[in-house]
């Protein structure tokens, strides 16, 4: 999906980083972006749009939407060891 690639690059994100932000596996997101996953569910489109702070119709519309920077990913915290 050309729009996803455009938005991702606009925000300076790698496919791997955006897949983390949107909650999709890296490989699944790759398939979506290159157009090999054409039969997406509405819930998947909603997750993709939500990651950019936009609505689905903005994601699919003819013009590039104004997006918010994707949700920040909290650094994974190491489990505290008990002493």
Give tens-digit pLDDT for 37-65. Answer: 989 999 999 999 999 999 999 999 999 88
Reported as a pLDDT band with limits 50, 70 and 90, residue 32 is very high
> The whole model's pTM is what?
0.77
- Residue 78 pLDDT exceeds 50: no
| Per-residue pLDDT tens over the stretch 1-30 | 789 999 999 989 999 999 999 999 999 999
Confidence of residue 82 (pLDDT cuts 50, 70, 90): low
DSSP-derived secondary structure for the chain: -HHHHHHHHHTT--HHHHHHHHT--HHHHHHHHTTS-----HHHHHHHHHHTT--HHHHHSSSPPP-PPPPPPPPPPPPPPP-
Domains and CATH numbers, the chain: 2-60 (1.10.260.40)
């Amino acid at each position: 999906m050309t729009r996803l690639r455009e938005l991702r690059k606009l925000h300076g994100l790698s496919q791997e980083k955006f897949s983390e932000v949107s909650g999709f596996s890296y490989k699944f997101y790759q398939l979506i972006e290159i157009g090999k996953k054409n039969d997406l569910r509405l819930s998947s489109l909603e997750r993709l749009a939500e990651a950019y702070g936009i609505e689905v119709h903005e994601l699919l519309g003819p013009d590039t939407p104004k997006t918010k920077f994707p949700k920040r990913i909290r650094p994974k915290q190491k489990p505290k060891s008990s002493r």
